[in-house]
């Protein structure tokens, strides 16, 4: 594998957890729910995935448990915000803090231990295609899932009745309820899907990206995923492009440090987050673009008429 392939491969690996978390949050926000607990769900998924993979010796079981942990954690968020109608912003921030603390407790005994990495799955014939084959068709299963999710979510949202109902709920939950659409149930399912994607993103971090457990290893990826949803204007394919752009920024600063670029390493490490701020500022300047696909009921609580 030449240098170009190696760089592209590392970018794809770095972008996968961002893509997974962002596509899950996109579905959640399309239903009108703002979940700021993505960071906590990612780190909880990582902690449980590493622990299960290490104890069982099966990384696939670890990845599955990571996704289930994210979904279970999202149910707590759903119960608080959808059933008890608490403030979504405050609840999401609280669950992020809870996830960071709880994951540290779960993973304390695994610090410094080697992980059980997920192996690549080579697709026959396709993996032999020059240059493209090793990049796209000789990857781990979580990468394949992330790509399938992008096209699956795009098809679901814009080509199915269920997707139309979900978008209708996000745009006007009162009208959707009046037409008989189960608002709360749909939002619960969307929140669980987003949590499962975030948990799987955490599993990718500790089983593929860095096969070990490090406290707070999510390192703000949940916040970047939230920004990616806005960056992509709530469109799956744009989120895909944004995730790989931010992945390139992340890997670019690592290569710059390795080449000895005369820039403080702290500044280079902050580049992905600086890029996030710059992108959000640029998007906010175009109000029409911001409001084009923004769910009208995003972040608003809903209490059905009884």
How many Å apart are CA 9 and CA 244, to the nearest integer? 11
How many Å apart are CA 35 and CA 254, to the nearest integer? 30
How many Å apart are CA 23 and CA 193, to the nearest integer? 10
**Which of these, 201, 195, 190, 202, lies nearest to 44 by C-alpha position?**
202
Q: What are phi and psi of 190, to 5 degrees?
A: -65, -45
DSSP letter, residue 160: S
Residue ranges in 172-295 assigned as alpha helix (H): 173-178, 183-204, 221-231, 236-258, 265-284, 287-292
How many Å apart are CA 75 and CA 271, to the nearest integer? 33
Provide the residue ranges of all domains of the chain, joining segments of one domain with +.
Answer: 3-292
What pLDDT score does 47 carry?
A: 95
> 3-292: which CATH topology?
ABC transporter involved in vitamin B12 uptake, BtuC (1.10.3470)
Contact partners, residue 127, CB within 8 Å, separation at least 6: 133, 134, 137, 138
Give the CA dihedral 105, 111, 116, 119, nearest 10 degrees: 100
Q: State the Cα angle at 273 between 108 and 150, rounded to 5°.
A: 85
Contact partners, residue 118, CB within 8 Å, separation at least 6: 59, 60, 63, 140, 141, 142, 207, 208
* 3-state DSSP percent of the chain in helix, strand and coil, to 5: 75, 0, 25
Residue numbers of the chain with a pLDDT score lower than 50 = none
SS3 of residue 121 by DSSP? strand
Tell me: the pLDDT tens digits for 15-53? 999 999 999 999 999 999 999 999 999 999 999 999 999
**Which of these, 9, 62, 75, 4, lies nearest to 205 by C-alpha position?**
62
How many Å apart are CA 35 and CA 276, to the nearest integer? 18
Q: What are phi and psi of 212, to 5 degrees?
A: -165, 170
Q: Which two tokens stand for residue 211?
A: 């096969």
What pLDDT score does 261 carry?
A: 66
Q: Which pTM was predicted? A: 0.92
């Amino acid at each position: 594998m030449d240098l170009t392939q190696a760089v592209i491969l590392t970018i794809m690996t770095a972008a996968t957890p961002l893509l997974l978390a962002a596509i899950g949050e996109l579905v959640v926000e399309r239903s009108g729910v703002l979940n700021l607990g993505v960071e906590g769900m990612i780190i909880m998924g990582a902690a449980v995935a590493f622990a299960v993979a290490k104890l069982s010796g099966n990384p696939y079981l670890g990845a599955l448990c990571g996704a289930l942990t994210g979904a279970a954690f999202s149910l707590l968020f759903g119960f608080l915000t959808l059933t008890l109608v608490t403030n979504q912003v405050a609840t999401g921030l609280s669950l992020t803090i809870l996830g960071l603390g709880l994951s540290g407790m779960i993973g304390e005994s695994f610090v410094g231990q080697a992980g059980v990495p997920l192996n690549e799955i080579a697709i026959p014939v396709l993996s032999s295609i020059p240059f493209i084959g090793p990049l796209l068709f000789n990857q781990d299963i979580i990468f394949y899932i992330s790509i399938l999710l992008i096209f699956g979510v795009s098809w679901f949202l814009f080509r199915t009745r269920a997707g139309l109902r979900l978008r209708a709920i996000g745009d006007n939950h009162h009208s959707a309820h009046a037409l008989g659409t189960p608002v709360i149930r749909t939002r619960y399912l969307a929140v669980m899907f987003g949590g499962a994607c975030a948990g799987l993103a955490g599993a990718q971090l500790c089983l593929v990206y860095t096969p070990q457990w490090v406290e707070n290893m999510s390192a703000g990826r949940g916040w970047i995923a939230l920004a990616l949803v806005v960056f992509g204007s709530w469109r799956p394919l744009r989120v895909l492009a944004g995730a790989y752009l931010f992945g390139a920024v992340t890997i670019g600063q690592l290569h710059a440090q390795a080449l000895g670029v005369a820039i403080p390493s702290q500044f280079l490490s902050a580049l992905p987050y600086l890029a996030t701020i710059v992108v959000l500022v640029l998007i906010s300047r175009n109000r029409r673009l911001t409001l084009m696909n923004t769910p009208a009921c995003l972040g608003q609580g809903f209490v059905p008429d009884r």
